[in-house]
Structure 1
Amino acid sequence: MARAAERKQQAEADVLSLKVTLRNIDPPIWRRIIMPRHMTLTDLHDVIQAVMGWENDHMYDFDFGRRRRQEAAMLAETKDEDENDPTLDELVKSGMTKFTYIYDFGDNWKHDILIEKRLPATTAKAFPACVAGARSGPPEDCGGPWGYAELLAAVADPTHPEHKERLEWLGRKFDPEAFSVAKADAKLAARFKRARAAPAKG
């Protein structure tokens, strides 16, 4: 019995490595996150919002091909806990390792989600955590991947007819190549009200 309980406790302590890649963007925008297996798809939505620097102002969708699950994210706080909200562990056990997350049905930001591997949890890091990534998340409401490409072109070219207007719309200095693991992880810490993880490399 003791050994069975120990194995169960160890299994519950495992975490999963997931890679989130924003589709139709080149060079790619991606994040690697570590999440406990018991966390749900709603938790994953919150994680992606934090590490992409978004504000959760739009609806979202998880697409598993034939299986679809859709939530009105802006109304989430008014709903009771969704008993049908699957955990990451349930997805893995069902054989699901690749699926799609769509945010903002107007801009249609599609993310490829890959559950990479299971890792042993350690007391040195709090979870969920962001451990790697590349490039800044696009500003919200910029028109999706194609609108984002047009925005970058206008901002980069002082002779572009919309250069000044686009800079004013951004309202801040925006570096599309900038990404800080530490800052992304700090946003996760704030979103999930957890202790700060040990500083991550990169």
Structure 2
Amino acid sequence: MVKTVGLPKPAANLLLLHIELKYIEPAIWRRVAVPENITLGRLHSVIQIAMGWEGGHLHEFEIAGENYGIPTPDGWGPPVNPEARKTLIKALSGRKTFRYVYDFGDGWDHRIKVEKVLPAIACPQVPYCIDGANACPPEDVGGAPGYEEFLEAIADPNHSEHEAMMEWHQDVFDPTAFDRERTNEWLKEIKV
């Protein structure tokens, strides 16, 4: 009998995910590689960084007919399965698409599709953002309709809400901006 003591466990394959924020035009999306055995809790962190969210709101995954998130101790909200230990590959149960909702008030609905399986060595780091387009909306802007109104107001100095929106956001906002290199620097913080 041959002993395999001391041999490292083979690295997990990567899943190439296409993450798109629904109901927004032009599309806000990211293409991210994650290990297939990433927990949903860690995947939440990857999505937050890749998309540009700040993480101050509740979230939930809907995968293969099951809901996953962080159960609230007081039982507020819909019941969810704990996300902390559930791996993405097990939750998928062979499915290729799933849903991630961030901020139940604004209702940022993301469609996530597994585009392909990659070998573990396919990316220079894991997780890794391969590509993307357009800036994440500001937090608490009011969902897709509020974001549309925000963009109209900041683009037109004569708009009745222009000054209020500029003061509320307190920074220049370019809806076409996306910095893949900076995103990957932030993704280095996530230990998978």
TM-score, reference length from structure 2: 0.85
- Cross-structure match for 1:90: 90
Between the two proteins, the alignment pairs up a number of residues equal to 180
Which secondary structure state, in structure 1, belongs to the residue aligned with residue 124 of structure 2? coil
Q: Which amino acid aligns with 1:164?
A: E
- CA 1:140–1:43: 2 relative to 1, 3 Å: same
TM-score, reference length from structure 1: 0.81
Which secondary structure state, in structure 1, belongs to the residue aligned with residue 60 of structure 2? strand
Q: Which amino acid aligns with 1:21?
A: E
Q: Which amino acid aligns with 1:168?
A: E
Which secondary structure state, in structure 1, belongs to the residue aligned with residue 33 of structure 2? strand
Q: What's the offset of the Cα at 1:151?
A: 0.2
- Cross-structure match for 2:75: none
Greater helix proportion:
1
- CA 1:176–1:72: 2 relative to 1, 3 Å: farther
Which secondary structure state, in structure 2, belongs to the residue aligned with residue 89 of structure 1? helix
| Worse overlay, 56-65 or 132-141 | 56-65
Q: What's the offset of the Cα at 1:37?
A: 1.4
Q: What's the offset of the Cα at 1:123?
A: 7.6
Q: What's the offset of the Cα at 1:87?
A: 0.9
- Cross-structure match for 1:108: 107
| Identity between Structure 1 and Structure 2 (%) | 42
- Cross-structure match for 1:35: 34
Unpaired segments of 5 or more residues in structure 1?
74-81, 195-202
Q: Which amino acid aligns with 2:111?
A: D
Q: Which runs of 4+ in 1 moved over 4 A?
A: none
- CA 1:46–1:167: 2 relative to 1, 3 Å: same
CA contact (8 A) 1:59 1:72 kept: no
Unpaired segments of 5 or more residues in structure 2?
73-81
Counterparts of 1:111-122 in structure 2 under 5 Å?
Answer: 111-122=110-121
Tell me, in whole angstroms, the C-alpha distance in 2 between the residues paired with 1:95 and 1:41.
16
CA RMSD of aligned residues (A): 2.5
Counterparts of 1:1-202 in structure 2 under 5 Å?
Answer: 9-10=9-10, 12-64=11-63, 66-71=65-70, 85-92=85-92, 94-122=93-121, 125-190=124-189, 192=190
- Cross-structure match for 1:199: none
Which whole-Å deviations, capped at 9, do the CAs of 1:63-103 have from their partners, x for residues lacking one? 13632123259xxxxxxxx58732122134x1121110000
